[in-house]
Structure 1
Amino acid sequence: MFSRRNFLRASAVSMVGAGLVSNASVASIPEAPTQTSPTMVAPVLPGAGRPYNPVATLNGWTLPWRMRDGWKEFHLVAEPVIREFAPGMVANLWGYNGQSPGPTIECVEGDKIRIFVTNKLPEHTTVHWHGILLPNGMDGVGGLTQPHIPVGKTYVYEMVMKKSGTFMYHPHADEMVQMAMGMMGFFVVHPKDPRQHAVDRDFVFLLNAFDIEPGAKTPKNSTMLDFNLWSWNSRVFPAIDPLVVRKGDRVRIRVGNLTMTNHPVHLHGYDFEVTGTDGGWVPPTARWPEVSADIPVGAMRAIEFTADEPGDWAIHCHKSHHTMNAMGHGVPTMIGVDHRDVVHKIIQVAPDYMVMGERGMADMQEMEMPIPDNTLPMMTGRGPFGPLEMGGMFSVVKVREGLARGDYKDPGWYKHPPGTVAYEWKG
């Protein structure tokens, strides 16, 4: 029987953080060099894969591969993991290779792909390659197209990449539980010709949601609607990576949705075009300008724009409660309620009582309210002008002049030119 104690013990030995592959993965399939330079323009070398501009996975990494007899080989290990949503909160999840979501798989149109999947979960699993054209027996639907992968066993998937585009992977076995526990990942297939659909910066992240009670660490896996943590790649603001680009860069952002609701992802400061779905690339004649892209359930959208306006530009889900952490359900509305006649009486029996909500929730950002351990405040993070009053599905596209090519570390907050910041009218 797999007890909570065993779950935590298994989770504790899982590696945490970007760039780490589990010991089982390293032992079974030796890691090979992977193409990671964002400016690589190398010639095609026989047996060494093809050149491409790698994607940047927010708070994640790309899975290493090796070439063997014309096959590009990867290894995924399905296992319990520990994921830090933001400083102050970690969760017991299930994922791949020490992380949830799992590492991004990158390859090239025409590649022959072999993926080893080892099951270290407490139950059977499979992997479905969402949106990829492949033989029926490789589609990963347990009981329909293959036997389930038993605990402790390794299965092999083989396929030829028939088209480029953006796809996902996730279980098709005990799907509600396993996806609610964080099992998912991105799968990017680059064009054969690296000049086709070329961009300078190519970001990917998955939208996911969890129901974790304040003070707890393990998600409820039977929740269908009332989620309280809305995340990108199992991270929440202010711990989601910024999207750093150089002024003039052509930028692509690929977003996949494996939650149970749609998400209108909104970018400030720019209009963009939707250039791809998990069905393929959108022809230029079918594109139109947008500032928000609605990502349906079980779908992917790729958007593109040219970063010609410097600044710190917000990018977030436009469902307002999706930019909140540890969001509560059934909280009463207190706006307009006069507490003055009762607050002193309440304090006599509850000395730590604080009046809140009668003028809205913004004051909570400045209050030092006690919260349970391993729980995040609903609104967290500060910017150069004070509290940002956001959480959850929120990050910043940081467009800067003068960045050296390939140097995309966080440049800090934008320094506004004089006279370009909103100001108080003192007329």
Structure 2
Amino acid sequence: MKISRRDILIGAGAGLVSSASTLAKVSDPPSGHAGHHPADGPPDSVASRAARTGRVRTLNGWSLPHRMEGGTKVFHLVAEEFEHEFAPGSRAVCWGYNGGTPGPTLEANEGDRVRILVTNRLREATTIHWHGLLLPSGMDGVGGLTQPKIAPGETYAYEFTLRQHGTHMYHPHADEMTQMAMGMMGLFIIHPRGGDAVPVDRDYALILHNFALHPGTRRPDPSVMQDFDLWTFNSKVYPAIETLVARSGERVRIRVGNLSMWNHPIHLHGVQFEVTGSDGGRWPRSQWRREVTEIVGVGQMRDLEFTAVPGDWAFHCHMAHHTMGPMGHGIPNTLGVDQDGVEQRIRRMLPGYMAMGADGMSEHQQHVDSGHMPGPENTLPMMTGQGPFGSIEMGGMFTVLKVRDNQPRDDYSDPGWYRHPAGTVARRISTDPSFGDPPRRPR
């Protein structure tokens, strides 16, 4: 039995049901990583601890090692099913590459000859499209158009010379809606011949994506077009997303790719960054432009660069509902509605019901923080992170840039919360709601 959000959220009261009796039984996930072995690279559960072999740091991810064969760099990708954790408390059976979603980042240099072996361990055919790359038509990866599909158990070889540089992606063009909805995607970063004219000290990369994981289920729903409930950086929900770390004064680049079904206005606090590149590579400096929010459209890449300044700075999508966890789409708005006594009456028939929303959705987070309101099985609260001043008021497609004066240059470990200099934190000066006599709009 499939349980939808509308089934779980009661209409007029808009309360969240947490009673396990209303949930469908969760099916057992596959044991371990289907066909996974150490040579394929680290599985998702240890990806964030894996040694990085490339120059780019992929949040919660890793760069795929290669071997040399006669002057050609050879990579090996394995399409397979595995269990993935979006954040503690939310796991699903996903599809991806080499044990993770997104798959490992491919890094090479402009002018390199590459051969990419693709082994299909799924139960249906697949291909890989090299998004934005200039290559022969027969290497473009569109099943049925430019190549036969890779059947289960088969391995295909893609081989071409890299004729460009920039931030790129890879993903299937076979049963694309399902396979991408299940997590099949990755980054392909080509460094310019001779290096960057303006070098960066730290180079981060991430993919924006969305998943529809209905309460009580263990597999994303590929049929959802808009009402997604998990908005992710590299298939992780905050606070499971790694922190961006830098030293004061360092030049930082964040490469952002979008393979979700929404456009995302990506916003960074604390600095005005420069938009310096896209799928087309790093732009001429005369084309760089200064922003604080950059829309990354579906299928697009953007490179954001800035000089780091001390502090803890939010980095997130500016679509408000994308910086929250599982959403209850179609719930009636109960703001301002007197729900006195409703909760007690409904609980007689539906244990676990909670009336909420009369004074704002923060009521939900307060119940979660206090442990008084468990959510449906295999779901997350709307906001889950804890900061130095209490619950962080964002989640989902969100993380934190932490800049410190004394951060070692090669150290990416989390330095903890920022110690604000005296007098630089907003402070309470009154608890009287009638405080002062602020001006009012003339009538």
TM-score (norm 1): 0.88
Counterpart position of 1:153: 154
CA–CA separation in structure 2 for the residues paired with 1:250 and 1:345: 58
1:281 lines up with 2:282 in the alignment: yes
| Structure 2 residue 428 is matched with structure 1 residue 408 | no
Q: Give the partner amino acid of 1:392.
A: G
Partner of residue 45, structure 1: none
SS in 2 for 1:364: helix
Map 1:21-420; keep pairs closer than 5 Å. 22-23=37-38, 25=40, 36=52, 54-307=55-308, 309-340=309-340, 342-350=342-350, 352-367=352-367, 368-420=372-424
**Which letter maps to 1:386?**
G
The Cα shift of 1:342 comes to 4.2
Is 1:275–1:282's contact at 8 Å kept on the other side of the alignment?
yes
AA aligned opposite 2:337 = V
SS in 2 for 1:389: coil
How many aligned residue pairs are there?
Answer: 394
Asked if the contact 1:110/1:163 (under 8 Å) is kept, the reply is yes
Stretches of structure 1 that go unaligned for 5 or more consecutive residues are 16-20, 27-33, 38-52
SS in 1 for 2:152: coil
Tell me which moved more, 296-305 or 187-196.
187-196
* Relative contact order, higher structure (CA 8 A, sep 6+): 2
User: Alpha-carbon deviations, 1:222-248, whole Å to 9, x = none?
Assistant: 111111111111100111101001111
Per the TM alignment, residue 92 of structure 1 is displaced from its structure 2 partner at its CA by 0.6
In 2, Cα distance between the equivalents of 1:244 and 1:362?
Answer: 29
2:94, 2:220 within 8 Å by CA — same for their partners in 1?
yes
- 8 Å Cα contact 1:22-1:77 kept in structure 2: no
Query: Partner amino acid for 1:321?
Result: H
> Residues 145-199 of structure 1, C-alpha deviation per residue, up to 9 Å, x if partnerless?
1111111000000011111111000001111111011100000001121343420
Per-residue CA deviations over 1:79-123 (Å, capped at 9, x if unaligned) read 002111001111111000000110000011111101000000110
**SS at 1:316 equivalent:** strand
Matches of 1:213 and 1:143 in 2, distance apart? 33
> For structure 1, which segment, 346-355 or 118-127, has the greater mean C-alpha deviation from structure 2 after superposition?
346-355
Any unmatched runs of 5+ in structure 2?
1-25, 42-49, 431-435, 437-443
How far apart are residue 283 of structure 1 and its match? Answer: 1.6
Q: Cα 1:341–1:61, aligned 2, differ >3 Å: closer, same or farther?
A: closer
| TM-superposition CA deviations, 1:227-278 (whole Å, max 9, x none) | 1111111100111101001111100000100011100000001101111111
- Once residues 78 and 336 of structure 1 are traced to their aligned partners in structure 2, the CA distance between those partners, rounded to angstroms, is 50
Q: Aligned partners of 2:411, 2:388: CA distance in 1, in Å?
A: 23
1: CA distance, partners of 2:99 / 2:51: 21
Specify the SS of the correspondent of 1:354. Answer: coil
Per the alignment, in what secondary structure is the counterpart of residue 418 of structure 1?
coil
2:32 to 12, 26, 42: 12
Q: 1:70 to 1:331 in 2, by over 3 A?
A: same
Tell me if structure 1 keeps the 8 A contact 2:335–2:358: yes
Task: Indicate conservation of the 8 Å contact 1:199/1:250, yes or no.
Answer: yes
1: CA distance, partners of 2:84 / 2:147: 30
Q: Shift of residue 345 of structure 1?
A: 3.6
1:137 CA drift (Å): 0.8
C-alpha distance in structure 2 between counterparts of 1:381 and 1:35, whole Å: 26
Kept in 2: contact 1:71–1:114 (CA 8 A): yes
The list of structure 1 runs, each at least 4 consecutive aligned residues, that deviate by more than 6 angstroms after superposition, is: none
- By how many angstroms is 1:349 displaced? 4.5
Query: How far apart are the structure 2 equivalents of 1:134 and 1:35?
Result: 30
1:389 positional shift: 2.5
1:366 partner SS: helix
Letter paired with 2:33: V
**CA 208–340 in structure 1, closer or farther in 2 if over 3 Å, else same:** same
Deviation at 1:347, TM superposition (A): 4.7
Change beyond 3 A, Cα 1:408–1:342? closer
How far has the Cα of 1:425 moved from its partner? 2.3
Distance 1:87 1:287, change over 3 A: same
**Compared with structure 1, are the counterparts of its residues 162 and 35 closer, same or farther at alpha carbon in structure 2 (3 Å cutoff)?**
farther
1:340/1:203 Cα in 2 relative to 1: closer, same or farther (>3 Å)? same
Aligned to 2:16: none
Displacement of 1:351 after TM fit?
5.8
Q: Which amino acid aligns with 2:418?
A: Y
Aligned residues: percent identity? 57
